[in-house]
């Protein structure tokens, strides 16, 4: 079964052709980062305009690279939400037009489910499982008792981890998005600031990163005010150590409580080297019977392949959307 999947929830225009939810025939991702860089963040109007300009070509490229035509495709899947409404609408409109014109079923897929199902390209998902979703807009622990069922075990009460990375990166004067650069810098510095590990001792699986973000930004501002030398590599290393400590600690605890055999990492921040290493080590040490799946870097950030993976389960259930589908910017998982 072939699914043409479309993703346009934020600043990546992407289309992919996926076979049986597990095999990538093509996965074209057009990033708009260069256009948003000079604004230090994603500008929604600029993002929608880019999506409009790119989407037809990206879809054609994805079919071409997969060496298939619309006649071969069994369904069209699209990210329904969450994301920026103007960006989502471009993908949703394109998917509806294609589904209508070629008389194919339409599948409305959740972007966060997509991040989780990206792991299906590595190995089949085995349930129950726990997924740590860390991205630009989300930081959550998701328990899945079975395919297609999501239970939010814990989530951030304020900023997402990626958001904190990007905001601190901006104060440090790094190009947007700061996450990737700070990750590289962190490996050349020391955790000498010992920033707070918020909520690490609390008896729940929630996170909070805004206090940490403020501590880091205050540290930078104070040093600048006093004209003190500040090593940005140490700042990055100290911030990253605090983020990783909390994420790993709570994930291990939740995996123990939920007694899962499978643990997945998902979302843009899953590309973080410090997090990948620390989680791998912690699982080996504390949960040797648990298998940890981490997606390759190419599947951590936004891409349509992951939407095609998540949509395949919906396809099997014949969970199809009608042609009056609308974008849902605040769509939840549960």
Known binding site: residues? Answer: 111, 115, 133-137, 166, 179, 183, 272, 302
Cα 288-294-297 angle, rounded to 5 deg: 155
- The residue of the chain with the least Cβ separation from ligand ATP equals 268
- Give the whole-angstrom CA distance, residue 269 versus residue 89: 25
- 182 to 211: interface string for Fe ion, x by CB under 5 A: ------------------------------
The stretch among 191-199, 203-211, 265-273, 311-319 that binds ligand ATP (CB under 6 A) is 265-273
Cis peptide bond upstream of 82, omega within 30: yes
136 binds ligand ATP (CB under 6 A): yes
Burial of residue 261 (CB within 10 Å: 0-12, 13-18, 19+) is: middle
- Give the whole-angstrom CA distance, residue 5 versus residue 58: 11
Cis peptide bond upstream of 128, omega within 30: yes
302 binds Fe ion (CB under 5 A): yes
Residues between 157 and 196 that touch ligand ATP (CB under 6 A): 162, 165-166, 177-180, 183
- Per-residue exposure over 90-120, b if at least 16 CB sit within 10 Å of its own CB, e if not: bbbbbbbebbeeeebbbbbbbbbbbbbbbbb
The stretch among 133-141, 147-155, 194-202, 205-213 that binds Fe ion (CB under 5 A) is 133-141
Q: At what angle do helices 161-171 and 178-186 cross, to 10 degrees?
A: 80
26 binds Fe ion (CB under 5 A): no
Q: Is 192 helix (H, G, I), strand (E, B) or coil?
A: coil
Choose the one of Fe ion, ligand ATP, Mg ion, none that binds residue 83, judging by a C-beta under 5 to 8 angstroms depending on kind.
ligand ATP
Choose the one of ligand ATP, Fe ion, Mg ion, none that binds residue 140, judging by a C-beta under 5 to 8 angstroms depending on kind.
none
Q: Which residues bind ligand ATP (CB under 6 A)?
A: 9-10, 82-83, 111, 115, 135-138, 162, 165-166, 177-180, 183, 267-269, 271-272, 301-302
Interface with Fe ion (CB under 5 A): 135, 302
């Amino acid at each position: 079964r072939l699914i043409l999947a479309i993703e346009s929830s934020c600043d990546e225009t992407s289309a992919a052709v996926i076979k049986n939810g597990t095999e990538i025939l093509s996965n074209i991702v057009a990033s708009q980062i260069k256009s948003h860089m000079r604004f230090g963040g994603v500008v929604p109007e600029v993002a929608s305009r880019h999506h409009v300009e790119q989407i037809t070509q990206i879809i054609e490229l994805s079919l071409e690279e997969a060496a298939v035509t619309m006649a071969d495709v069994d369904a069209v899947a699209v990210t329904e939400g969450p994301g920026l409404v103007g960006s989502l609408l471009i993908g949703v409109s394109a998917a509806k037009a294609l589904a209508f014109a070629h008389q194919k079923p339409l599948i409305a897929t959740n972007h966060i489910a997509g991040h989780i199902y990206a792991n299906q390209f590595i190995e089949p998902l085995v349930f129950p499982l726990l997924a740590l979703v860390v991205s630009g807009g989300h930081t959550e622990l998701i328990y899945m008792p079975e395919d297609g069922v999501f239970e939010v075990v814990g989530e951030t009460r304020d900023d997402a981890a990626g958001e904190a990375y990007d905001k601190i990166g901006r104060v440090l004067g790094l190009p947007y998005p700061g996450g990737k650069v700070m990750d590289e810098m962190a490996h050349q510095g020391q955790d000498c600031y010992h920033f707070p590990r918020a909520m690490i001792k609390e008896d729940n699986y929630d996170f909070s990163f805004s206090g940490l973000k403020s501590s880091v930004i205050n540290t930078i501002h104070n040093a600048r005010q006093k004209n003190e030398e500040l090593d940005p590599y140490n700042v990055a290393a100290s911030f990253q150590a605090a983020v990783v400590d909390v994420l790993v600690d709570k994930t291990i605890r939740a995996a123990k409580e939920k007694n899962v055999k499978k643990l997945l990492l998902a979302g843009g921040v899953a590309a973080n080297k410090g997090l990948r290493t620390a989680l791998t080590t912690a699982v080996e040490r504390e949960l040797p019977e648990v298998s940890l799946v981490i997606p390759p870097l190419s599947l951590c950030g936004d891409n349509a392949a992951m939407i095609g993976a998540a949509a395949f389960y919906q396809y099997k259930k014949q969970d199809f959307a009608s042609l009056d589908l609308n974008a849902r910017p605040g769509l939840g998982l549960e």
